[in-house]
Amino acid sequence: MSGRFSMLPDETENPKFTHAVFHLENEGRLVFDDQRHFGLMKIVQTDALLQAKELKKLAPEPFSDEFSIEYLHKTAKGSKRSLKEFLIDQTKVCGLGNIYAAEAMFAAGVDPRKRADKLSKQKVLRLHESIRAVLDEAINHAGNQTVDPTNLEGNYFSAGTTAGWHVYDRENEPCLNCETPIVRLKQGGRSTYYCPNCQRT
Ligand SMILES: [Zn+2]
């Protein structure tokens, strides 16, 4: 859903939906293309970066000290929405999209339909650990892939984990833990995949 940066040599033409080009001192150029026009570009002073209104309201990074178990517990207590909708709200938890939210909830064994403020401290603890574990695995997996930033047609940065998805996009396929068919449901207009046996509370 996002736009894309590519490092292009001089002889390569700009992609069709190019919106911004940075000419670099050491030859080549950094090109931003965005077919769906969802991207936003803004120039700010480095020391004012975190004060920019687009970044200011974002929740702490999952790997930062601010993203503590206490933070997650307190923030969840203040939300009456379903856990899934809570997790993909970037002002509450930053960095989880539809896929990784589903994978983190599966890893923690929590029901995506449960209200965020009803989550026990024990579950918050497991969820906190799972969010970091799922993102960590995905980042490592992406880091081991060969990336060709000049190959715009190539499906680079294809998301994934070494073992593939546990629940995401696996409707009716057997759960990897218990073989119960994975269920898909709609939450806030988006699909959520989960195991009704492993994720009961
Ligand atoms: Zn299961």
CA 102 to ligand 1 center in whole angstroms: 13
Each residue of 152-174: pLDDT tens digit?
554 444 455 556 789 999 999 99
CA 117 to ligand 1 center in whole angstroms: 24
Q: Pick the closest to residue 192 from 181, 200, 183 (CA basis).
A: 183
Q: Pick the closest to residue 54 from 18, 90, 24 (CA basis).
A: 90
The ranges of the chain with pLDDT < 70 are: 1-2, 146-163
Q: What is the pTM of this model?
A: 0.81
CA 170 to ligand 1 center in whole angstroms: 12
pLDDT of residue 164: 79
β strands within the chain, DSSP E: 4-8, 18-23, 29-33, 183-187, 190-194
Long-range pairs for 169-176 at CB < 8 Å and ≥24 separation? 169/193
Each residue of 60-89: pLDDT tens digit?
999 999 999 999 999 999 999 999 999 999
pLDDT of residue 140: 84
User: What protein residues have CB closer than 5 angstroms to ion ligand 1?
Assistant: 175, 177-178, 180, 195, 197-198
Q: Which residues are within 8 A (CB) of 199 and not within 5 positions of it... i.e. 6 or more apart?
A: 105, 106, 109, 110, 111, 112
